[in-house]
A and B are shown apart, each in its own frame.
Chain A
């Protein structure tokens, strides 16, 4: 067997073998496949029940009951009120989260390399915990302290979002250009004024864009948060679905989808407008 060592042969090498014991990606891919198979294996999924004629019929009946949606003026007013409540929850929750997030971001960030920042790790841990627990779980927990209604939902949104925003704000503060802050610091200006006059003005646009992005997310979250009883459209949905008022459920679902679609469209439009 002769090996051809001409440049032309090297320019078109054979493709690497599909599986190689030293290829990390292959092993990871195998692991993922194993995870998928194990998942389907251990979950007692009721495909037979789901794919049976009976399920199809009950699904059809279920969807049929949605029509006609209830559009009596009385109920529409209630839905409009629920929509307004959802929007208010998301806006106010985000606002609370901005304040809390900024307050938590200050100890969680090291503004300049020499700063000891003793609170950095514990605050980051707290932010991670706040962030890791979803809004809905927060709502379930806060219902006990704040009672049913939009107040618990607002607090739940604020709790989760302050974790997210705190983390993002801290990153933004740490990544801000150091020049202006250093210039003030060498003149002996205190750290509060360095923050207010050098760091904050530089990162403010970024903080604003994070806040708007989270608000958009929170509108979507607030719409469904009520399912556990925390106010807004979700509470109406859970209430009427629980009582099998299917026409009313359909109206609430429609309002929810409309709200989400509207938010998507506005954010898409704004983004397109800003990109140009």
Chain B
């Protein structure tokens, strides 16, 4: 059986690759394109292995072990981890306060004038305006918001909370509107046509069919907010990130390692909690 299915004996023409030239051309073109990229990124891996650099790196890595585990330090890490979670949660709450009203203003399904043909000009302009506002809010990275707010309110969690609130408010608002508009609009429109108020149409038409998706997206964003609140600490937004930045600047590897481990655990925990929440709310 097996001997029958073996390929015929290989001869030269059968071995020849018909796509040889195009393959070679694309490999060459790829290399030519790669060169400017490597120039621009100053990609010189060998500097990692220069004796002087190697010594600095080695010294830093040597301080990683043993990880810092003094009682004082662990208490500090626990406190800062809680602050990281708290910044993310408070930021998300404020983000919801920004996102929900803007979503309701911008959802096209809840338009009364759109029921009979085109939306009236004024509501159309208002909805598009709110949409633009959401896009602007979300396209400024939270790190930039944080840099600005650190200047205004000083170092500390307030800057982090505000940065998360604005960027995530924009993200949530945009995605909420998309979720609400992507579903079946029939029930909502029937309610509106029969004289239901917009609030009733929202509560009895739109929300029941989209609630799962909305909650699971919110919980997912909360998980992302925890990650980004650590990052915001690096520019002075408080929490675990700020401590990590301090320890890195002092080349204290043991503290860095402990905090990295705690951070990885925190993210894994948030991942689990978010999966649990999504399963039981969804």
Contacts and interface: CB of A to CB of B under 8 A. Distances in A.
Interface of A: 24-25, 28-29, 32, 35-36, 38-40, 42-47, 49-50, 55, 58-59, 62, 84-85, 88-89, 91-93, 95, 128-129, 132-134, 136-137, 140-141, 144-147, 149-151, 153-154, 187-188, 220, 223-224, 227-228, 231, 234, 237-238, 241, 253, 256-257, 260-261, 264
A231 B40 CA distance: 10
Given A89-B41, A140-B248, A141-B248, A132 B268 contact: yes
A261 B157 CA distance: 28
Interface string B135-158: 100011101100110011110111
Contacts of B34: 92, 95
Contacts of A39: 85-87, 89-90, 93
B2 A55 contact: no
Main secondary structure of the interface of A (DSSP, over half): helix
A206 B68 CA distance: 43
A144 B36 contact: no
Given A50-B153, A257-B140, A28 B90 contact: no
Contacts of A154: 41, 43
B180 interface: no
A210 B143 CA distance: 25
Contacts of A28: 277, 280-281
B231 to A, nearest CB: 5
B31 to A, nearest CB: 12
A92 B256 contact: no
B161 A43 contact: yes
B267 interface: yes
A187 B2 contact: yes
Given A144-B60, A145-B57, A50 B152 contact: yes
Contacts of B140: 257
B158 A46 contact: yes
Contacts of B141: 220, 223-224, 256, 260
A43 B40 contact: no
B82 A42 contact: yes
Given A43-B157, A146-B47, A227 B260 contact: no
Given A36-B90, A36-B93, A149-B42, A62 B152 contact: yes
B53 interface: yes
B32 to A, nearest CB: 14
A44 B256 contact: no
23 contacts: A25-B280, A38-B86, A40-B86, A40-B90, A42-B82, A43-B158, A49-B154, A49-B158, A50-B162, A59-B152, A88-B40, A89-B41, A92-B37, A128-B268, A133-B264, A137-B263, A151-B41, A151-B43, A151-B47, A153-B41, A227-B143, A228-B234, A260-B141
B150 to A, nearest CB: 10
